Structure 1
Amino acid sequence: MDEQITGKRFLAVTVLNVLITVVEIIGGLVSGSLALLSDAFHNLGDSFSIVLGYFAQTIANKPETSKRTYGYRRAEILAAMVNATFLVIVSVFLIIEAVKRLQQPTHINGEIMLLVAVIGLVANLLSAILLYAGSHSNLNVKATYLHVLSDALSSFAVIIGGVILSFVNITWLDPVLTIAVAAYIAYEAWPVIKQTVTILMESAPKLDYKGIEQDLIQIDGVTAVHHVHAWMIDEKRIIFSAHLNCHDMKLSDVEKIYQQVDKLLNEKYGICHVTIQAEYHRGKDEEFFDTNVDEENLIK
């Protein structure tokens, strides 16, 4: 199945989330369930997030231009960060409200809570199925998928609470369920935030740099490697640049080395874009990474 999620699927998921929101707001007000109202506002945010994710995907597919030489792929990274950050903020808000409810418990109508939660679970599961295809290969879709999946989990938790409250009036159950679901949502969203920040800060991707250095030096004609930089445009595309010290040779022979470097870095390390500067003696004594900063002292 295509990694890109179609506009029709995004539209279907958005419509489902809007319908769930309306039903859960009504059900939450009638039943008095904080967990149900929390899930309703969560779904309302999801509708915005899904639309944002769709437009980000559309923008990301635009071709490179003279103003955006790497294209617009980071639009999806920005959308993923916004979506995941929103999830964490919502989770904190839900926990605060749940703690207040623990201090001032209210009666919950378990039957209404159960019925509405079942409707929400079915709709959220349908949405998750529609988004599942692209959730493993795209951070933007993954963030949107996590929104929907967390809603499904929330609905399932509310169902359990509704079943119990239909028979026993446990005043603390509804806010405790809310806290548990909110904590899970934040737990799932945090890694997405960390990864998007890593990409936007152009941090070095996790590569075997020592292995890269050894492999490049093994290429016939290469004597040293320095001034290395590596960063990511999105979660799949790694950019790499380096200076190679080579034997004194013709430019046509240097091009053959370039071809070997491109093939090596692409096939063995998954690097999609390589920029190499060939040099004879200049910079030969420089370090592999071009930095004069003591990173440990900088962190301290």
Structure 2
Amino acid sequence: MDEEISGKRFLWVTVLNLIITIVEILGGLVSGSLALLSDAFHNLGDSLSILLGYFAQLIGKRPETERQTFGYRRAEILSAFLNALFLIIVSVFLLIEAVKRFSSPSTIDGPVMLVVAIVGLLANLVSALLLHKGSEGSLNIKATYLHVLSDSLSSVGVIVGALIVTIWHIDWVDPVLTIGVAVFICFEAWPIVKQTITILMQASPKLDYLAIQNDIVAIDDVISVHHIHAWMIDEHRIIFSAHINVLDLPISEVEPIYAEIELLLKEKYGIGHVTIQAEVARGLDEELFNTPGDTNTEN
């Protein structure tokens, strides 16, 4: 029932965001306000984020297959990357247009800008109310809830600008607001781009590898650790593999060592998928991380 309610809330929030986007684009074109257009693209980005995130989440739940042995969890990472990249590209365009406005100022229809901005604020507040209850028990809903709140703050800024334009006819406030919104969008989007690229490039997560080495070697019958690899399937799931040198033991006595290492890595370091290869003498002289000159490969 909770998932159904959450799905309905996400649907209404998406619809409201799309309505805000359309209204602000039309209002921006009619009033000549670049700030309204920038806020519109901000809301459009959130709508795309919700839709892409929803469909990517459905794809990510598909089971592992012969061709996708780690499943489809990277679909959500690709979705986040494309959405954040889109926002940055749009923000750069808006920054360029805002700078042009300073050299070639245009007249802004303050009342139209004000009405549209108020409509946007009200819609964002309704969206925040729809998501507030669910944000207490779901990180996914909480993230969307915080995005909607940031949209509300952006709308408040546009309203203040519209009042200044309407009362004092200071049209240069509009490009200043545009620059502020565009910088704010980039500030939000860039960490997402950076994190998703890190995951897609299979960069190692931030782990204390020397501490991991010491903890594993401290286990009975483990002599050394080498050829460590660690990467992330998504922002939550870490994959880890390593070679360990152990005493010359039968497999039945090595398996409990595997289990102890897996439990250690899961509980202390949050690593969910572990692959260990046991060796006796092979690789004793190797470093913790494999270097290009090493000839050993994963088996």
TM-score normalised per structure 2 = 0.88
The one-letter code matched in structure 1 to 2:252 is S
Counterparts of residues 45-64 of structure 1 (less than 5 Å): 45-64=45-64
User: How big is the shift at 1:45?
Assistant: 4.5
Inter-partner Cα distance in structure 2 for 1:152 and 1:72: 34
- Residue 276, structure 1, aligned to residue 276, structure 2: yes
Counterparts of residues 244-259 of structure 1 (less than 5 Å): 244-259=244-259
Residue in 1 that maps onto 2:297: none
User: How big is the shift at 1:2?
Assistant: 7.6
Residue in 2 that maps onto 1:170: 170
Identity %: 64
Measured on the aligned residues, the alpha-carbon RMSD in Å equals 2.7
Inter-partner Cα distance in structure 1 for 2:87 and 2:10: 19
Inter-partner Cα distance in structure 2 for 1:161 and 1:217: 63
Residue in 1 that maps onto 2:260: 260
Inter-partner Cα distance in structure 1 for 2:149 and 2:167: 28
Counterparts of residues 52-201 of structure 1 (less than 5 Å): 52-128=52-128, 130=131, 133=135, 137=139, 142=143, 148-201=148-201
Inter-partner Cα distance in structure 1 for 2:99 and 2:238: 44
Structure 1 residues without counterparts, runs of 5 or longer:
294-300
Structure 2 residues without counterparts, runs of 5 or longer:
294-299
Residues 214-262 of structure 1 show CA distances to partners (whole Å, capped at 9, x for unaligned) of 0000000000101110000100100100011001112111011011101
Inter-partner Cα distance in structure 1 for 2:221 and 2:117: 67
User: How big is the shift at 1:125?
Assistant: 3.8
Inter-partner Cα distance in structure 2 for 1:103 and 1:30: 21
Q: Which moved more, 1:173-182 or 1:15-24?
A: 15-24
CA contact (8 A) 1:87 1:147 kept: no
CA contact (8 A) 1:223 1:245 kept: yes
CA contact (8 A) 1:53 1:141 kept: no
Aligned length: 291
Inter-partner Cα distance in structure 1 for 2:209 and 2:88: 34
TM-score normalised per structure 1 = 0.88
CA contact (8 A) 1:3 1:133 kept: no
The one-letter code matched in structure 2 to 1:29 is L
Q: Which moved more, 1:107-116 or 1:84-93?
A: 107-116
Q: Which moved more, 1:86-95 or 1:36-45?
A: 36-45
The one-letter code matched in structure 1 to 2:173 is L
